Amino acid sequence: MKRSAISGTHAVDRMLKEEVFYPAHDARKESPAYAKAHKHLVKELDLPCLVCGVRNSTLKDPAHNKAGAKDMETHHHVVEWALQNAIDLNKFNERIWPALKNKHPGKYEQPFGQQEMLDFIDHSEDNLWVLCDVHHRHSLVGIHSITAPIWGAQDLIRDDFTYISQVKK
């Protein structure tokens, strides 16, 4: 089938099948250090959702909460918490540490030790993104549910373009 260089607006409907093996780990329980980091980012700094811009302080304002979020959450974005027991320290220091060192001069001067890496994964503000509950866990737009190319562009989509159907389900 020959496709033209320009195709009109169209939908792509696909089912993502994913099978991931997580290492053995304790049930997720918010550590005091994670709770402190979460509170700092969400309540004290009142950082916005990376996608829609809603803040903890604007959740109840429909003009600022177009996705209908109910809560603000933090997402482990460099390394997912549930994978921490499968992360190789040498690979982490080879692939993640240099970027952290460059991005945060003076903060990550030495490669990580095992406990430092685990602490980074659990509660470092440099491993946490603020997202509303919709853009964190919703089945159509949440980072845990859709592919990176689609999730990553959400904050760049024009306001007049409907890119996802039925977000407020």
- The C-alpha atoms of residue 135 and residue 75 are separated, in whole angstroms, by 10
Model confidence at 1: pLDDT above 60: no
Model confidence at 137: pLDDT above 80: yes
In contact, 64 and 53? CB cutoff 8 Å? yes
Give residue 27's pLDDT band: very low, low, confident or very high (50, 70, 90). Answer: confident
> Which helix (DSSP H) or strand (DSSP E) does residue 133 occupy?
helix 133-137
- The C-alpha atoms of residue 44 and residue 48 are separated, in whole angstroms, by 12
Q: Does pTM surpass 0.75?
A: yes
Give the chain's radius of gyration (CA, Å).
19
Domain ranges for the chain, please list them.
Answer: 32-84+124-156
14 versus 123: the higher-pLDDT residue is 123
pLDDT at 169: 45
Counting every residue written for the chain, the total comes to 169
Residue 8: phi and psi, rounded to 5, are: -65, 175
Tokens representing 34 are: 């994670």
In contact, 73 and 131? CB cutoff 8 Å? yes
Give residue 152's pLDDT band: very low, low, confident or very high (50, 70, 90). Answer: confident
Contacts of 50 (CB under 8 A, 6+ apart): 129, 130, 131, 135, 155
Poorest-pLDDT segment among 16-25, 30-39, 57-66, 74-83: 16-25
